[in-house]
Structures are given as C-alpha cells and as structure tokens.
C-alpha cells in the first residue's frame, strides 16, 4: 500500500548562500599557488628593461599592457580559494572561469567540474544545497542565478566589476522604458548575462544585440524610417528580446556593450546610432549612451597601438598575439595587428612549429590554420618580434612564447636569463 500522507515540498526561492572565501589565511596559500602556476621571471625581466630586449640581432618587444587584468586575477583567486575552503564538497563552475584553455584545464585538475552555460538541463537539477557553484568572470544570466537560489547551494560569484557596471546601466534603461542596444556577440557568455539584465526587474524591458557596423547601419536605417519590418525581424529576431517590436522599441534607445569589444568600433557605433536618432527627431533626447568598455581592454588596445607607432622606433617584423581563441579581447588585438603587419594569433608556444610554420587562428574563417612565414626565417637577418596577450592570458604562456621565438632564432633560454 502506498503512503498517501502529504510529502514535504521542495523549498523554493531560497537565498543564495554567498560565502566569503577571501580569508587572509586562505589567500596567502592561494597567492603562493597562483604564482607557482602563472608567474614568469622572464616577463618580469622584460618589464624591467622597458618591455624590450635585444640579444644579438633579435629584439623582443613586449606591449606595455598585456595579460591578466584585475578582474581575471580576482576570478582565478576566488576559484582557487573556493577549492581550499570547500575541500570535501562538490564544486562546479558555470562554463569557463575565463577564456583561456590552460587556466580552465588547471581548474579541472583541481576537481572543479564545468557546467553547461548555454542552457540549464539535468546537470543543474542534480545540484543540491551542499554543492558549491562558481559564477565566472563573465557573469551568468538571471535565470541561472534564480535556479541556484532555488536550490540553495553555495555561490561564489566572480563576476567582473566592469561587467556589473554594464548591468546597472541596462537595468536603468529598462526602468525608464529605454531599449538596450548591446554591441557584442549574441552568443557570448557576458552578452547573454547582460541581455538578461536588460529585461529589468519587472522583465518588461527590451534589448537588441548587434555585432558589426554593418548591422548598426541596418538598425540606423530602420530608426530613420527606411527599413522593412519583416526583413528586420528575419535578420535580428534571434538577437533580441521576446516580444521585440522595432516600430515600438527603437523609439527610445540606449547603447551598452560587451566590455571586451574593440573600443574604436564601439565609439563609431554609438555615433551612428545617435545620428540616426537626430535624423529622425531633430535632436538626441531619446538617445542614451554610457561608455562600458572596460579599462583593461582599452589599456591593452592602446598599448598595441603604441607598439605599432613607428615615429620613435623601428617597426616590428612580426606580431605574436597570445591567448584563447574564444577570447573576445584577444581577438580584437589580433584584428588591430593584422591591419598593420604579419600577425599570428596563437594559443601557446607549441603553435610555433618553426619560424616558417606557425599554427594560428584565422579570424576570417574562424578556425586554426597553418601558415608559412619567411619574413624572419634567416637567422642572420635582424628581426624585431612583437608580443602581446589578452586579459585572460597568464604570464607563463607569454614567457614560453618568448622563449620559443628566441630559440627559433638560435638564442637559448640561458642566454636570455643571463641578462641582468
């Protein structure tokens, strides 16, 4: 006979259990471990020499700003600290902590299990209130955060502060019936998280995600009254909020962006949208803008432009951009580079089979390819090799790239380390 007595219902709407893992005793251990994994004495040597070292006829030129930013360092520190505080509990991570395969592999070795980030499924249903879930530096959509609250598990939120600034802005747009036009990649973790906040607390806000200036021009033409609604929705229907109506929701707009976009492109997009509003209304009272490119992204892009400025120095022969292929900010560094000189976007030093054969990410075809480069193949020919890296690339990967490039020019690591 079955038990017909009432069964306790599953608790809902619990408050997420946030835990402070940044205790002094824990962080001292974390700092030591992180430095062991990612620190580089070679990179520090280059910095002490103003970012440039010449050995024989080969010069390595390192960008003034590169690699880990504060937000990335904080996210990694919190992930390491979580493992130390919750030694006996299951620890999960929504997607990837940052866009760098080596760093994410290190977390997997520490027993941190990656959960799907595009949609919630059985993996989330299997969580319980004793589990620990790390939210990555990109943040997570509100639906994911609500699910964690319902379960009542421990939450370690590593969302970057610059990303949260964007969230506050788009929430404010929604509160004032302003549609968020988000410059970013529609399927990027950060953009998806931002779009969910653009709905506002009442879930009645709206957003539209656009990636390119060509997309922006089409939106601007619609704002001016020159578009076709059916064609517009066919193109942008998958990149906008549910119930989005361009005739209604493009009247009052505010621009925000994924924090790692190309700064110059975002600024141009903002100008074009503003001009479309002025052309339609005669003024820009229904246009709102807030600069949401993160400082670290701006610094790394600016440092690369300084490297490319040859008014006071010899030009580079080749540029190596180091980082994960799915890293947005690293991709934009490669875009800047390839407009000016032979540029190779590589994951790590292993991509350099020789100075003539380099595995690298092709931005146009979005895949790794092998290219031949003979520009500095002859070791007796002087060469200047530029190196930069995105905000998610650790110094040890930059170091190994520098060492490999010098080895291919006939210069040993010992020769490099011998320099004061």
As given in the structure block, the two tokens for residue 153 are 């598990």
Q: At what angle do helices 229-236 and 213-223 cross, to 10 degrees?
A: 150
What are the tokens at 244?
């989005």
Active site residues: 190
Pair 224, 241: CB distance under 8 Å: no
Say how many CA atoms lie within 13 Å of 373 toward its Cβ: 23
Kindly compute the dihedral angle of the four CA atoms of residues 79, 148, 187, 251, in this order, to the nearest 10 degrees: -120
CA gyration radius for the chain?
Answer: 24
Closest CA to 198 of 181, 210, 216, 185: 181
Distance CA(40)–CA(94), nearest Å, equals 29
CA 122 vs CA 127, 221, 314: distances in Å: 9, 43, 57
Joined together, the tokens standing for residue 266 give 């975002």
* Contacts of 396 by beta carbon, 8 Å cutoff, 6+ apart: 37, 38, 39, 40
Within 8 A by CB and 6+ apart from 244, the residues are: 206, 207, 208, 233, 237
Q: Which structure tokens are listed for 325?
A: 């292929």
CA–CA separation, 44 and 400 (whole Å): 13
Residues 6 or more apart in contact with residue 382 via CB below 8 angstroms:
57, 58, 59
């Amino acid at each position: 006979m079955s038990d017909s007595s009432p069964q306790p219902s599953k608790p809902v709407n619990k408050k997420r259990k946030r835990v402070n893992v940044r205790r002094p005793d824990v962080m001292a251990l974390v700092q030591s471990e992180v430095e062991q994994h990612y620190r580089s004495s070679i990179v520090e040597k280059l910095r002490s020499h103003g970012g440039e070292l010449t050995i024989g006829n080969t010069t390595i030129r390192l960008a003034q700003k590169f690699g880990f930013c504060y937000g990335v360092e904080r996210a990694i520190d919190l992930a390491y600290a979580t493992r130390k505080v919750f030694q006996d509990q299951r620890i999960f991570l929504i997607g990837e902590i940052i866009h760098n395969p080596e760093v994410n592999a290190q977390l997997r070795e520490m027993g941190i299990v990656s959960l799907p980030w595009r949609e919630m499924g059985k993996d989330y249903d299997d969580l319980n209130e004793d589990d620990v879930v790390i939210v990555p530096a990109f943040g997570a959509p509100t639906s994911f955060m609500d699910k964690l609250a319902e379960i009542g598990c421990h939450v370690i939120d590593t969302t970057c502060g610059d990303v949260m600034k964007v969230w506050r802005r788009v929430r404010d747009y929604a509160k004032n019936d302003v549609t968020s036009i988000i410059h970013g990649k529609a399927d990027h973790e950060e953009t998806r998280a931002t779009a969910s906040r653009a709905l506002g607390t009442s879930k009645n806000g709206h957003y539209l995600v656009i990636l390119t200036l060509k997309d922006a021009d089409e939106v601007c033409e619609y704002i001016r009254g020159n578009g076709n609604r059916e064609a517009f929705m066919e193109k942008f229907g998958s990149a906008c909020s549910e119930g989005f109506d361009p005739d209604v929701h493009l009247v009052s707009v505010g621009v925000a962006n994924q924090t790692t976009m190309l700064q110059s492109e975002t600024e141009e997009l903002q100008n074009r949208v503003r001009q479309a509003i002025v052309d339609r209304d005669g003024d820009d009272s229904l246009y709102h803008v807030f600069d949401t490119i993160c400082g670290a992204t701006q610094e790394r892009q600016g440092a690369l432009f300084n490297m490319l400025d040859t008014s006071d120095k010899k030009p580079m022969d080749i540029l190596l951009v180091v980082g994960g292929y799915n890293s947005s900010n690293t991709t934009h560094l490669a875009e800047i580079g390839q407009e000016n000189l032979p540029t190779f976007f590589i994951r790590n030093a292993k991509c350099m089979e020789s100075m003539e054969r380099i595995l690298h990410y092709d931005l146009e075809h979005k895949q790794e390819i092998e290219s031949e480069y003979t520009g500095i193949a002859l070791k007796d020919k002087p060469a200047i090799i530029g190196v930069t890296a995105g905000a998610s690339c650790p110094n040890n990967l930059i170091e190994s790239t520098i060492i490999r490039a010098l080895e291919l020019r006939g210069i040993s690591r010992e020769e490099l380390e011998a320099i004061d």
